[in-house]
Amino acid sequence: MSKVKVARKSTRIDMTAMSDVTVLLLTFFMLTSTFVKKEPVQVTTPASVSEIKIPETNILAILIDPAGKVFMSMDKQGDMVETLTKVGKDYGVTFTAEEIQKFKVSSTFGVPIKKMKDYLALKATDQDKVLATLGIPTDSLDNQFKSWVKNARATNPDFRIAIKADAKTPYKVIKDVMTSLQDLRENRYNLITSLKNETANK
């Protein structure tokens, strides 16, 4: 009787094809996606049918959370520094080089100017926690928001203002922000929304 010979096969799988696929996917993700900006508060934008895309550069983003706290962010660090110095001058606060450096790296800011020095002295992890409880004052008595926008506009005349507010924000807050912008003759701005699926809504 002859022995049944079981052919010995190598269990090695060729990973080249797999590698090709993953590199392709990686390239796709790198090219199509944009990085999520760190925001101090969670904001869910309302949906709209508008299909205009927001430009990527020269954006002065105004972030409004459901409680009505206002934060701001700019996409150029140079402009941020210049704006901070100008706003500081308006309120009689001067910043050291170290403080400016710290301010530069923060993605979103929104602290009353008097508290800015204390805030910048904090560690980065503590800053995030504190920032969510603060916000730029927008009330008529102490409208620092106006000063920020005015100085940002003076720094970079090409800025486009974009308002990103939570769907549940009361209109009263939006009205305050809009009135402040109107006072500064900033009459054209963008409202950031997410895409609404019209068919799903029916």
Which of 3, 6, 7, 51 is in the footprint of another protein by CB under 8 A?
51
Helix (H, G, I), strand (E, B) or coil at 186: coil
Which of 62, 63, 64, 74 is in the footprint of another protein by CB under 8 A?
64
Taking CB under 8 A as the rule, does residue 171 contact another protein? yes
Radius of gyration of the chain (CA): 25
Taking CB under 8 A as the rule, does residue 49 contact another protein? yes
Taking CB under 8 A as the rule, does residue 140 contact another protein? no
Taking CB under 8 A as the rule, does residue 202 contact another protein? yes
Taking CB under 8 A as the rule, does residue 194 contact another protein? yes
Nearest to 153 by CA among 179, 191, 184, 195: 184
Could you tell me the strand order of the sheet in which 59-64 lies?
Answer: 70-74, 59-64, 160-165
Taking CB under 8 A as the rule, does residue 185 contact another protein? yes
Q: Amino acid identity of 1?
A: M
d(CA 23, CA 15): 12
Query: Under rule CB under 8 A, which residues in 2-31 are in contact with another protein?
Result: 12, 14-19, 22-23, 25-26, 29-30
In this structure, what is the dihedral angle of CA atoms 15, 18, 20, 23, given to the nearest 10 degrees? -120
Nearest to 121 by CA among 102, 137, 134, 93: 102
Taking CB under 8 A as the rule, does residue 166 contact another protein? yes
d(CA 139, CA 177): 9
Taking CB under 8 A as the rule, does residue 133 contact another protein? no
Name the token pair of 14. Answer: 């060729």
Which of 5, 35, 158, 197 is in the footprint of another protein by CB under 8 A?
35
Which of 69, 146, 150, 164 is in the footprint of another protein by CB under 8 A?
164
Q: Amino acid identity of 85?
A: T
Task: With contacts defined by CB under 8 A, name the span among 92-100, 109-117, 138-146, 171-179 that binds another protein.
Answer: 171-179
Name the token pair of 1. Answer: 């009787």
Residues of this chain that bind another protein (CB under 8 A): 12, 14-19, 22-23, 25-26, 29-30, 32-36, 45-54, 64, 162, 164-172, 174-175, 178-179, 181-183, 185, 187-196, 201-202
